[in-house]
Every structure is written in structure tokens, then in C-alpha cells.
Structure 1
Amino acid sequence: MSVLSRRNADEPAEEASRLLLRIGVFLLFVISLIAPILARQTVYVLLPIGAALLLAAATLTPEEGSGRSMRSILLSPPFLAALLLAAWTALSLLWTPFEGPAERFAKITATLALVALATGFLPLRTKTSNLNLLPIGVAAATIALAAVTLLVKPQYTLDDILDVGPLGRAGLGLALLVWPAMGALAVRGRWYSAAALAAATAIACYLSGAPNGVPALAIGAAAFAAAFGRARLMSIVFATLMAAIVLLAPLTAYAAHLIWPERTPGFFRHLAFWGQMIEADGWRTLIGHGFGAATWGVLGGYLTPATPRSLIFKIWFDLGALGAAAAALVAARTSLFVGQSRPALAPFLLGGLGAGFAICLFGPAAEQLWWLTLAGLDAIAFALVMRGQFRKRRPRLPIGWSAPAEDQA
């Protein structure tokens, strides 16, 4: 007779939930990073599918405390600040001079709502097997991106010239997601693997020609170094700094316009042009021109190509001072929230926040759907890592959980 000392078989619903969760994480952090390198539209399809699988997994076997977790997400200061920004953006559609922004706003709202639901219903503890898929996906995407840029001759379309091509988008996505991936490795003692992943990502971003991808990684590295060992203190410093940059950016632009009214150096050209626009706008600076006014203004020829492309400019131009105040609150609250995570993990997340803020500051990230989709993917990665079960050693097997053995008569 055989004597089996193992636990009873799990319920089918639990097994199905684990399978759906594993497939969802695989789609989000492996397939969603590799597929857009060759087909730009795939990320718009894979993110909703992956998020829906996470929701389905949570529905099959709801955990104790999952409701509290969802409420904590919905009532967290970053989410409430983002809700305030979304409400003001929706209100600005009343005075925007174009019709297209309403459809884009609906798509953005639906995408970010799905991200919020998926984040709220993630398991309270992320298993290591699921967490490993994040650095695996980032590593595979860096190899694929470097190989494509070296072996395939790029072919640019008109959309690529006006915005960012698929390779550039993939590079910017890696510049965001490499930070939670490195955090997942480093907190388990795999520092060499984290450093190798960072170096590979920097090379891939450089080869892909991602606009401001390498500077964003450099700023993220500086934020990581500053926060290492003092994450909570530096999260307060970063929150103050980011809020000040968002709120004081128009003053810097107006000062550049006053200093160089005619011949502006190349680095300050877009900034001085913004200062000229501020001088002409007057009271419109308070409420803005309405969501999407900057993007559709350039596409329609109402604004010159010299118009800045950064998210901070578009927030000020579209949503005015009230929208900028809400955006500054989102950035500050996110920094403070991330700074409260594990001391070993927080520096990596603050580095990722710094890299994302740099891309928003220098461009080309604005209210494009592809960028907000990448930001939503990054938010899910942050939540996944912050809920991780980190062990540097395998747990010991309890007594009585031995492997199957057979007694021979």
C-alpha cells in the first residue's frame, strides 16, 4: 500500500483562479511588452484582456479582505487626486473647441477605470512564481527590442513622424517597467540580475531611439540613489519637487520669453514659445482651453509645430491652473504613497516614478492613449510588486508534508 502525506487536492475553483491569474500576469507583463514592438495596436487589446483575467480570477475565489483592499485603493489619496483631475478634465469638455477630445477622453477613462479595478482586485499577496514573470517579461522585451532595431530596417509612417513609432513606444514602456522589475529582483537578493536588467534596458532604449528614454532612466537612477536608505524622507522631497515643477512651469516659460523675446537658444525655444502663449492667453490660463485643445490645435494647423509636446504644457494649456493643481496633487500623493512601501523596495519605485515624471516633463508623453496605457500597465506592476511575498531562501517543508512514498510488503 502507498502512504501519501500531502494536502488534499485544492478546489477546482481555486485551481481555475490561479490559472487565470497566471495567464493574466503573463499577458500583461510578457506578451504586452513584446508584441507592440512589431504591432503597435496590440497593447490596446492585451491590457483589457489581461485586466479582465485578473478580475475573473478574483471573482472565482474572493479572498478575505479583498473588499477592504478595493476600498483602500478607491479611498487612497493618489486615487482621489486622480479622480479630481478626471472630473475637471470631463468638465473642460464643455468649452473645448474640438469634437474629437470627447471620444478620446471616454477611451482613456475606460482604460484607467479597468486598471483601477484590476489593481484593487489583485491578490493580497503576490506569489513569487507570478512575480517572476515581471522581470522575465522586461528581459525578453529588451532582447527583442535590441534585436529588431539591429536587424530590421525601420519604416516610418506619417503617424510615427507626428507622434512616436512602435520601437520608441516600446523603449519608453521599458523605461517605466524596468524599475518594479528590478525591485522584484533586488529585494530577493538578486542584485546582479537587477543591475544586468538595468544595463540591458538602457542599451535597448538607446538603440530604439525612444525620445528622452535614456535621460528618463538617468533621472530615475538619480532618484533611486538619493532614496536608497532614506526612502520616506526622499519621497517627501520628491513630492515637493514634482509639485513645484508642475505649478511653477509657466513662470519659467514666461521668464524664458522675457529673457529671449526674439532669438531663443535651441534648448529653451519651446519654453519661450509657451511663455509667448501665456502672455497672449491672459485669463484663459486659469481654466484652460479644454481637454485636447493643444493636440487638435497642432493637428488642425491652429498651433505651430513649435508648440511644446510635454504633458505638463498640455495640462496647463488644456486644463489651466486648476487642472495643473490637481495634477501636482496626483504626483505628490503618488510619491508619498510609494515612499511608504518596504524600505528595500521603495527606492526602486521612486526611481520609476522619477523616470515617468521625466518623460512627462520633457515629452513626448502627454494624453496619448498609448502613453496612458503604458502608465496603467506600470501602475499594475507597482501594485503587484508592493504585494509580493519576498523570500531569499526557500521555506522549509513542514513535518508531515513529505513526498509520496511506497511501502513494499
Structure 2
Amino acid sequence: MIRHNAQAPLDPATDAALLLRRIGFGTLALVLPLAALVSRRAAVVLVPIGIALLIIAMLIEEPAKFVGSLKEAVFSRPGLILLGLVAWALLSLVWSPFPTSAAEKAGNLMLAVVLGFTGLSALPERMRSSNLNLSPLGTGSAGLFALGLIIISALRHAETPPGAVERGVSIILITAWPALAWLLSRERGMSALGLALIVAILALTRFDDGETVAMLFGAVAFGAVTASRERAAQVIATIIAGLMLFAPILPFLLAPLVSALPDSADDFAQMLSIWADVIRQSPIELVTGHGLDTVVRDQLRGVLPQPAPATLLFETWYELGLVGAAAAAACLYFAIRAAGRMVGALAAGGVAAFTTAFALAVFGFAPLLPWWLMTLTAVVLLFGAIARGQYRTDRPAVPLPMRSAGRTRPKAGEPPAD
């Protein structure tokens, strides 16, 4: 007697889309943290490849949904504000004294925004847990690998580890937030604790670059949002957006405080003095900005003194003026508020990631460099994917009559129990 297989018919297109999606997401979540430890250009190469695979998978599976999601993301309020910021950065090329280098910087910013929009639109409505498990696996294994490389470098009495390792550690630290959020959302407390310990040890190796303090700010934000999600997210969003919007007031407020500090703060006082002089001498540029990519170039040609502030706050106001700073502040505010509205541990992890990234930018870490822009784009996509993996976290309960009767097999006509 021949028994027929009741399985659903094979769909090669769907299978190909699932495979491409797994490879694309694995490139962002698993390969990126590991490859960044051995290649300085890993993020610049791998992030566009991973997002391209996600887009191809969605175009194979549901092209109409991809187009609809992209339109919704672009024409949302945060999306329009972000596009306005990019448009103003492109417009600043008109009065920038260095249009060639400024065009390259604007191109990198525009590429990151395009990849972010298309990557989020290419995510399916439901992400499989098997794909999302790659995030903590990649971050954890890369963290252990990085610790091994740092220990070997110390045993060889090298002053600093190779440049690729330092950049890779920075990528591991920022990608740790979505990985921790996923583990906590699945109630894997011990795994989350192990990953947190690895990340904490790595952060201590980056104290001189400010990453230790930035991660500490992120941890504080994580705890605050865990305790009071809506209120903490609103307060953090207001503080970060306020710092961006009212940054020109900082040198005048901090100068009296810094002057009371010991002589070791002379460099900081000089930096604040330069910032205050720029504000006094350029009232028109305070609104329009000097043009994209002018901070470094003006320092090289002597227009801007060398110890100028190395922070994203000064760079944004100097290059894009009030218009660019206001758009950036609005983007940060709405993005952090949106992160705070995510479910469970994702809200705390998302706000912590924004806080960490902003703190690093304030400390002058990798301002708008291509590899850092690509890394932040990947982190946004990881959070978007994890948010779409939060479904059916609880199994349906067994009906009380069946549980009390102790039946293991349903009667005829009854649906089988889980």
C-alpha cells in the first residue's frame, strides 16, 4: 500500500529568499563583528553586501510589500526630517570651500541613509529566531576572539593592538546592545550575563578613547529605561536633542567652571575658548554653517586653530549651522522616542545604543567616518529585525478540563493540544 506525503509543494523562489535572507542577516550579525577584527574595511564592504542580500530576498518573496514599506518609511515624520538633513548637507556643497572632499563625505552620509531605509523595508514581517540567534553568537565569539588577540599583543609587549583589532572592538561594543536585548527578550539571563561580562572587559581596554565612559552612559540608560520605559526614554531623548540644539551655549557655560579646575584642564579651556571665538566671529555661518568637511580642512590650512573641539556637536554647528543642528536634534529625539516604544528589553537596548553612540560622538570618536556610519546602520537593522522576532513568545496553555482529566489524547473531533 503506497502512502502519500502530505507535505506542501516545494517553492524554489521562497526557499531561495529564505536562504538569501539568512546569509544577508548572518553577514551583518555574525560575520561583521568577526571580520572587523582582521580587516579595517570590513564594515564598509560587508554591510552593503548584507543589506543587498536582504533586499533581493524581499524582492523575490514580496516585491509589492518592499515598495510599500519603503514608501512608509521615507514619508514618515522621522524619515522626512532625516532626508531634510541629508538635503541640507548636500546643499552646503554650494558654499563649502572644499567641494570635492565634501561631496565624498555627503555621499557616505547619503549611502548610509539609503541603506538604512531599504534595509529596514527589506525585513520580513516575522524574523525567525534561528536568524536572530546569530546576533549574540557573532558578538560573543568576536568578543572572545578580540580578548585573545589583546592578550597575545600584551604578551608580545606591544604598546597597542593592531588597528583592525581596535576598530573591531568598537564594532563589538556597539553591536552588543542588540545582542543583549535579544537574549533578554528570550529570557536567557545567563547567556546575557556572560555576554555582558565579555563586553565589559573589552570596554575597559578602550578607556583612553572614551568608549568605556560611553558604554557606562549606555548602561545607565539601559537601567533607567528598564525601570521606567516611557519617562526615561523621553528624558534621555530630550537631553540628547537639547545638547545638539543648544551646543553653542556650552563653551560660555563651561568656561567659568573649567577655569576653576587645576592646570591639567588648560587644554580643555583653550578648546572652549576657540569654540567661543568661532561663535563670536561668524554670526552668519552660525545659521548656515561653513559647509561640509570644513573642520579638518580649515585646521590644515590654519583658518581654524589646531586644538579645536573634536566633537560632533562642534562639527555639526561649524559645518551645517543651526539648520543642520536642528534637523539632527529632531532626528535623534524621534529616533530615541521610537526606540523607547519597543517591547520589553528592546526598548532599553535601543535607547542604550543611541546613548552610547551619541556619547562616543561627543567625545570625538570616528565622527561620520564611513566604517562607523555603516556600523550604526547595521545596528539599526539588527534592532529592527529583533523587533520583528517578538511574536509567540508564550506557548498556548493546555485547556483546564483536559489538564484536570489528565488526558493525553483528544477525543474524536477535538483539536490536538500543544
Class of the TM-score when normalised by the shorter of the 2 chains: 0.7 to 0.9
1:342 partner letter: V
Residues 137, 48 of structure 1: alpha-carbon distance in 2 compared, 3 angstrom cutoff: same
How big is the shift at 1:53? 0.5
* Structure 1 equivalent of residue 18 of structure 2: 18
SS of equivalent residue, structure 2 residue 343: coil
Matched ranges for 1:254-333 at <5 A: 254-257=252-255, 265-333=266-334
Matches of 1:6 and 1:295, distance apart in 2:
67
Matches of 2:269 and 2:9, distance apart in 1:
66
* Structure 1 equivalent of residue 174 of structure 2: 176
How big is the shift at 1:208? 5.0
Matched ranges for 1:54-73 at <5 A: 54-62=54-62, 65-73=65-73
Matches of 2:366 and 2:331, distance apart in 1:
16
* Structure 1 equivalent of residue 187 of structure 2: 189
* Structure 1 equivalent of residue 86 of structure 2: 86
How big is the shift at 1:300? 4.3
1:253 partner letter: P
Matches of 1:258 and 1:205, distance apart in 2:
32
Matches of 2:62 and 2:159, distance apart in 1:
47
How big is the shift at 1:257? 4.3
SS of equivalent residue, structure 2 residue 94: coil
Matches of 1:95 and 1:21, distance apart in 2:
43
RMSD: 2.8
254-263 or 74-83, which deviates more: 254-263
SS of equivalent residue, structure 1 residue 141: helix
1:377 partner letter: A
* Structure 1 equivalent of residue 129 of structure 2: 128
Residues 184, 5 of structure 1: alpha-carbon distance in 2 compared, 3 angstrom cutoff: farther
1:184 partner letter: W
Cα displacement string for residues 83-121 of structure 1 (whole angstroms, at most 9, x for unaligned residues): 111111111111111131112212331233123211111
279-288 or 249-258, which deviates more: 249-258
1:198 partner letter: A
181-190 or 58-67, which deviates more: 58-67
Matched ranges for 1:217-236 at <5 A: 217-236=215-234
Matches of 1:174 and 1:19, distance apart in 2:
25
CA contact (8 A) 2:295 2:315 kept: yes
* Structure 2 equivalent of residue 338 of structure 1: 339
SS of equivalent residue, structure 1 residue 96: coil
Matches of 2:396 and 2:303, distance apart in 1:
64
Residues 209, 300 of structure 1: alpha-carbon distance in 2 compared, 3 angstrom cutoff: farther
How big is the shift at 1:20? 0.4
Cα displacement string for residues 270-329 of structure 1 (whole angstroms, at most 9, x for unaligned residues): 334322322232322111110110122234454333122211110011001111111100
1:275 partner letter: A
How big is the shift at 1:233? 2.3
2:54 partner letter: L
Alignment partner of 1:76 is 2:76: yes
TM-score, scaled to structure 2: 0.86
The gaps in structure 2 that reach 5 residues or longer are: 398-409, 411-415
Alignment partner of 1:139 is 2:137: no
Cα displacement string for residues 4-45 of structure 1 (whole angstroms, at most 9, x for unaligned residues): 665324301111111101111111122111112121012211
CA contact (8 A) 1:224 1:347 kept: yes
Identity of aligned residues (%): 30
TM-score, scaled to structure 1: 0.88
Give the counterpart of 1:200 among 186, 198, 205: 198
Matches of 1:6 and 1:302, distance apart in 2:
76
Cα displacement string for residues 138-184 of structure 1 (whole angstroms, at most 9, x for unaligned residues): 11221122122221366889xx9xxxx43332222222211111111
1:39 partner letter: S
The gaps in structure 1 that reach 5 residues or longer are: 403-409
How big is the shift at 1:265? 4.0
* Structure 1 equivalent of residue 400 of structure 2: none
SS of equivalent residue, structure 1 residue 364: coil
SS of equivalent residue, structure 1 residue 40: coil
Matches of 1:260 and 1:210, distance apart in 2:
21
29-38 or 316-325, which deviates more: 29-38
1:102 partner letter: A
Matches of 2:267 and 2:105, distance apart in 1:
32
Matches of 1:259 and 1:350, distance apart in 2:
30
SS of equivalent residue, structure 2 residue 176: helix
CA contact (8 A) 1:182 1:194 kept: yes
Matches of 2:271 and 2:211, distance apart in 1:
19
CA contact (8 A) 1:175 1:205 kept: yes
How big is the shift at 1:254? 2.7
SS of equivalent residue, structure 1 residue 365: coil
How big is the shift at 1:56? 0.7
Matches of 1:219 and 1:10, distance apart in 2:
50
1:295 partner letter: V
